[in-house]
Structure 1
């Protein structure tokens, strides 16, 4: 059981970092899409950024709840 707990903690830390990286990538591509005149795509990518920020917050709360 303790092994699973430690694994979950490490997974949450990994998922938080991974999700942050994805969010940043989405943000960069939203800017590029806007520069290419793809406003609608840029808007959807910006929505994805907001979604990833929500994911990160949820994962952080899960990690905090373990401590």
Structure 2
């Protein structure tokens, strides 16, 4: 988006762009912790738990892709 386009955004649109970036960063900040707990769960013999945490990581990655696309389409 050009600088002129940025100037034409409403306050709510600017806020939404900031929030979209924040949500992606926030989700990414949790991924490393989740991945650590996948391994810890496995070492405790909680394989099913690890599988569900892995699915949560994948869902967050998919959510991030959608949030990035949302921002690209503003």
Verify same fold: TM over 0.5.
yes
Q: Unpaired segments of 5 or more residues in structure 1?
A: none
Which aligned runs of 4 or more in structure 1 are off by greater than 3 angstroms?
A: none
RMSD: 1.2
Pick 1 or 2: higher relative contact order, CA cutoff 8 A, min separation 6. 1
The alignment covers a number of residue pairs equal to 66
Show the counterpart of 1:58.
66
Cross-structure match for 2:57:
49
SS of residue paired to 1:37: coil
Q: Higher Cα Rg: structure 1 or 2? A: 2
The 2-side partners of 1:56 and 1:7 are apart by 18
Question: Which TM-score applies when normalising by structure 2?
Answer: 0.82
1:7-37 deviation line (CA, Å, top 9, x unaligned): 0000001000001112222111111111111
